[in-house]
Amino acid sequence: MAATSSTASAMAVAATSPTIATAPFSSLPLRLRLRPKPLLFTSRLLLPVPKSSWVESVSEEGEEEGVEEDSEESGAAGEDDDGEDNDEKPRPEPVAASGFEFASPPEGYVEPAPFDELPPESPEDVAAAYEALYGPAFSGETVMGSNVFEVKVVDPVDMDREQRPSDEFSERVVQVNRVTKVVKGGRQLSFRAIVVVGDMKGHVGVGVGKAKEVTEAITKAAMNGRRNLVTVPLTKYSTFPHRADADYGAARVMLRPACPGSGVIAGGAVRVVLEMAGVENALGKQLRSKNPLNNARATIKATQMMRQFKDVAAERGLPMEQLWK
């Protein structure tokens, strides 16, 4: 009796339970087949949602997406049937070659012969071409008849004060120091002389010489100054065209132009260099080291940084009248 009653109650519950709408698994999209089973979140436990509710939602979504996919496939098929592809852009037409043409040669133009077909050059031709570009050779031989002056170099040690070159340059001694060189056998004493050479017309040079005697050291320094001559830019008032500052080692020199009648307002080696260069109105100042050699060379460097109006006009390609404006 107990078994019969339990079977009857089970049949009654099955008859009264609602029918579950199921969809075939193969008809669902792939992303929906792998969709996890939804869970119902409660305060204590995670209970699964009844199968009837989520199966119906899945079937409805699958039907809607299937409709959309069918429409997209039909649209793509229609494009294939028409033979038109919207993704591919029309290719531009090839550009025609430009109509550039080289200029025609002038009348009477004769094309030169190739280099390989020219006759070989003789040593005289090579020497003449070299002299046309760079001047006479160092040996003094000339092919084009240029005036070549042979310079005879004389060792200044073998020269006396009376045998010095009689040119327009004058000399002024800035400093003579006794220097010592320590060697294995003891100390070797010698003299170092600093001499400024100039012609009072814008050319000046600073020279240094060492020798066992003072006169020989001064002669060496004078010859060294003549080998290192520079040109100082001067205006018609015998002053600088503009101001300039220069450094040489630890020395720094400041040079400023001055009005006529001012004279050379400077001291030390700066004054000697300016006077030997022919500067009559200028201001000079030694700002750092008092070393005569460094200050003299700093003065030379400062004068080489100056430029006159004609030099600036030549660099810009303008007449001086337009530059003054």
CATH number, domain at 261?
3.30.230.10
Token digits of residue 266: 């400077």
Judge whether 68 lies within some domain.
no
Q: Which residues share a beta bridge with 294? A: none
Judge whether 175 lies within some domain.
yes
Output the CA–CA distances (angstroms, integers) from residue 322 to 111, 218, 240, 309, 310, in the order listed. Answer: 44, 49, 22, 11, 11
Per the prediction, the chain carries an average pLDDT of 76
Average confidence (pLDDT) over 38-62:
53
Select from 231, 255, 281 the last residue of a domain: 231
Closest CA to 282 of 296, 295, 298, 264: 264
Average confidence (pLDDT) over 18-22:
50
Q: Are 86 and 79 in contact (CB under 8 A)?
A: yes
Whether residues 248 and 309 share a domain: the answer is yes
Q: How confident is the model at residue 136 (pLDDT cuts 50, 70, 90)?
A: low
pLDDT at 318 over 50: yes
Helix (H) or strand (E) holding 210: strand 203-211
pLDDT at 114 over 60: yes
Select from 180, 209, 231 the last residue of a domain: 231
Domain that holds residue 258: 244-315
Judge whether 201 lies within some domain.
yes
pLDDT attached to residue 249: 92
Query: How many structural domains does the chain have?
Result: 2
pLDDT attached to residue 151: 39
Residues 6+ apart with CB under 8 A from 273: 196, 198, 204, 206, 296, 299, 300
Whether residues 227 and 197 share a domain: the answer is yes
Closest CA to 195 of 177, 165, 179, 174: 174
Judge whether 157 lies within some domain.
no
pLDDT at 146 over 60: no
Whether residues 311 and 249 share a domain: the answer is yes
Q: Burial level of 209, CB count in 10 A (0-12/13-18/19+)?
A: buried
Select from 231, 253, 284 the last residue of a domain: 231
Whether residues 249 and 224 share a domain: the answer is no
Judge whether 266 lies within some domain.
yes
Output the CA–CA distances (angstroms, integers) from residue 207 to 35, 74, 196, 229, in the order listed. Answer: 99, 100, 6, 9
Judge whether 274 lies within some domain.
yes
Helix (H) or strand (E) holding 282: strand 282-286
CATH number, domain at 199?
3.30.160.20
Judge whether 123 lies within some domain.
no
Q: Burial level of 64, CB count in 10 A (0-12/13-18/19+)?
A: exposed
Output the CA–CA distances (angstroms, integers) from residue 115 to 41, 103, 111, 112, in the order listed. Answer: 97, 24, 12, 9
Q: Residue 271, Cβ neighbours under 10 Å: how many?
A: 19
Q: Burial level of 65, CB count in 10 A (0-12/13-18/19+)?
A: middle
pLDDT in tens, 65-87: 554 555 555 554 545 545 455 56
Judge whether 188 lies within some domain.
yes
- Mean pLDDT check: name the lowest of 61-65, 171-175, 273-277: 61-65
